Amino acid sequence: MRVKIRGLIKPVALNSVALLLLIFIVGPLLWVAVASIQGERELLRQPTRLIPQNPTLDNYEYVFTGKIPTDLDVKGNTLRSRISQEARLIPASLKNSFLVATSVMLINLLIGPLAAYTFSRMKFRGKTASFNLILGSRLLPVIAVAIPYYVIIQSLGLLDTHLSLILVYLVLTLPFTIWFLTLYFNGIPTDFEDAALIDGCSTIQSLTRVVIPIALPGLVAAAAFAFMTSYNEFLFARFLTQSIDSQTGPVLIAAIAGNPDASYSLISVSMTLGLIPPLLLALLLRRWLTEGLSTSITFR
């Protein structure tokens, strides 16, 4: 009997811990989403209500059409001055983020496997040195290279362009992609390629026709990492962008929230919109990401 009760207590205790964890992980995300559908006045109540009394899409309507939310539209009221006009630029900034991150991801997929395949399968002079140079470049702290990067981008005449961000993010992502794919390719037996080479395939052909199809999960993970790194980056984007022509989501969101009397409901809207793409990606590619992360730590 004692054993039976103990056997019941354990899963109940563990499940309660897991429930608390679920709330800790998802709670903050849910709260911004809930805050974004509340009016400003309701949001600024003390104590704030966990469940909104009058949920509204006014805040979203403002961001997309410019129609002032009724809750902020009080003449002579201080609330009206809290409207952050930058919030209207959020869709454009997210588009910038998306464009830049997608380009970086595609270029990674193009030149990453090419280099990784060489590092994984070939012997040539200077192999270790070049591999170490590529990986070592990633060890420079971001804050140390921010100013020199600015100088390079300025002298290339690329300030405030998508291209500047794409270049810099390639430097950030390529070393990881190449290291990761080299590991991944190392784990694939060479038998199929040997057969392909005997059949007269070139190196490129054996890469594209034999290795890449087998390594597809690894490529998906590498692509997702490159996309997320670029989508989420803040420091370089802040230095290298100057206007909405190239400003990315994180830069604009930080700017809106940095304003001391910005509207909380509009901040919540911009955060919610900024959250959606990476969260969707993480949910959709969960298996590949988990597998990729696991591979990166257990291979070596």
Partner 1 sequence: MKIGRRAYPYLSILPVLLVVALFAIYPIIYAVRTSFYRYLLIRPNDHPFIGLDNFIEVVTSYYFRNSIQVTGIYTVAVVIGVILYGLGVALLLNSAIKLAGPLKVVILLPWALPAVVSGLLWKWLLNADFGILNSLLFSAGLIDDYIPFLAVPSLARLSLIMAFIWKEGPLVAIFFLAALQLIPDEYYEAAKIDGGGAWQVFRHVTLPLLRPVLLVVVVYETLTAILTFDTIFVMTGGGPGDATALISWFAYAEIFKSLDLGHGIALAIIIAAITLVLILFYLRILRTEETEV
Nearest CA-CA partner of 95 in 277, 281, 284 = 277
Q: Is residue 117 within the footprint of partner 1 (CB under 8 A)?
A: yes
**Residue 127 beta carbon to partner 1: minimum distance, rounded to whole angstroms:** 7
CA gyration radius for the chain?
A: 25
Residue 62 exposed, middle or buried by CB count within 10 Å (0-12, 13-18, 19+): buried
Rounded Cα–Cα distance for residues 206 and 194 (Å): 9
**Toward partner 1, which CB reaches closer, 137 or 242?**
137
User: 159-168 burial, b if ≥16 CB within 10 A, otherwise e?
Assistant: eebbebbbbb
Q: Min. distance of Cβ 231 from partner 1 in angstroms?
A: 7
- Decide: residue 139, CB within 10 A, 0-12 exposed, 13-18 middle, 19+ buried: exposed
Give the count of residues interacting with partner 1 (CB under 8 A).
91
Q: Of residues 22, 57, 68, 195, which one binds partner 1 by CB under 8 A? A: 22
Q: Cβ distance 158 to 121 under 8 Å?
A: no
Phi, psi of 223 (to 5 degrees): -65, -45
- Here's the x/- map for partner 1, 233-262, by CB under 8 A: it reads as xxx-------------xx--xx--xx----
Q: Which stretch binds partner 1 (CB under 8 A): 56-64, 71-79, 86-94, 271-279?
A: 271-279
CA atoms within 13 A on the CB side of 118: 13
Pull the structure tokens for residue 277.
Answer: 């793409």
Choice between 72 and 228, CB closer to partner 1: 228
Nearer of residues 39 and 175 to partner 1, judged by Cβ: 175
Piece of 55-63, 82-90, 215-223, 281-289 that binds partner 1 (CB under 8 A): 281-289
Where residue 125 falls (left for φ over 0; alpha for ψ -120 to 50; beta otherwise) is beta
Q: CB-wise, 18 or 195, nearer to partner 1?
A: 18
Residue 178 interacting with partner 1 (CB under 8 A):
yes
Stretch that binds partner 1, among 66-74, 86-94, 107-115, 215-223 (CB under 8 A): 107-115
User: Interacting stretch for partner 1, rule CB under 8 A, among 54-62, 65-73, 214-222, 290-298?
Assistant: 290-298
Per-residue binding string, partner 1, 51-90, x by CB under 8 A, is ----------------------------------------
